[in-house]
Structures are given as C-alpha cells and as structure tokens.
Amino acid sequence: MNKYMSSLPQELLIGVPSVDTGHLELVTLLDKLANDPSVHLESARFSEIISQLLNLMVEHFADEEVFLKTCGMPRNDVAAHIQAHHKIIEQYAQLNYGRMGGKDHVLSEISEVVKGWIVGHLLEYDTKIRPYVTG
C-alpha cells in the first residue's frame, strides 16, 4: 500500500462512485494521520485531522445509507449496517473523550484503532453492498 493512497485497492471497491470516493477520502486521511511526520498528539494539525475525519465519516455514512435504503437489500441487513455506522461514531467519540481526558494514547495507536474500525467495517459490511449495485 502506498504511503498516501491515490486509489482504493480492488478488494475495497464497492462499485458505487460516491461510496468509493468516500472510502478513499477516509483511508487517505487515516494514512496521513499515521504517516505525516508533522502530526503530533499535541499539534493543531492532529486536532484538525481528527475533526476532519469525523466530518468525513458522518458525511460518508449518510451518503452510503441513502444507497443502502434504496438498493433492495433486506431491511434487517440495512438496519444492522446502519447500526454499525452509529457504533463507529460512538466509539470515535469515546476515543476522543479519552484523549481529551488525558488518557495515555499514542498517535500510532489512535490511527491504527480508527483505521481498524473503518477498514474492518468496509470489509465486513460495505462489501456486502456489491451484489446490489447495478449497471
């Protein structure tokens, strides 16, 4: 994988352009968080990326959920998927809260954890969208 991704690897592509673009933006920003030497826990850049990441997630989940609700996927699967999005936002808020509260997190830990949620979710849930993509 490149230091900063310029395209998604094949196994992560869903086939819905706006969804794939959202995933690429998220993964690119996560890579920046993990690999940009100017990003430190106390830096303004770090806070900027953390809030940018939250905005991107909220935006992307909303966009993906529009597709989910209209693609013909069984309602239970759609509900479970949306629930998983909520869970990620919740975990992310807790992580940020822990950080603000002075819990001892290191940058690489934080970026790995968040990347794990996002890429893990992508592999577990988002790839199940593929059969519902037409055209």
- Rounded to a whole number of angstroms, the minimum distance from the CB of residue 4 to Fe ion is 19
Pick the closer one to Fe ion by CB: 117 or 125.
Answer: 125
DSSP secondary-structure letter at 42?
Answer: T
Q: What's the CA gap between 59 and 97, in Å, rounded?
A: 21
Long-range CB contacts (within 8 A, 24+) of 91-96 = 91/117, 92/53, 92/54, 92/57, 92/117, 96/50, 96/54
From 126, 128, 134, 135, residue interacting with Fe ion (rule: CB under 5 A): 126
Residue in the block written with tokens 């959920």: 65
Closest residue to Fe ion: CB criterion = 126
Over the range 30-50, which residues count as b (16 or more CB within 10 Å of their CB) and which as e?
bbbbbebeebeeeeeebeebb
Pick the closer one to Fe ion by CB: 38 or 76.
Answer: 76
Stretch that binds Fe ion, among 3-11, 32-40, 92-100, 118-126 (CB under 5 A): 118-126
Residues from 35 through 94 that contact Fe ion (CB under 5 A): 64
Pick the closer one to Fe ion by CB: 50 or 118.
Answer: 118
Total of residues contacting Fe ion (CB under 5 A) = 3
- Rounded to a whole number of angstroms, the minimum distance from the CB of residue 46 to Fe ion is 24
Decide: is 118 part of the binding site for Fe ion (CB under 5 A): no
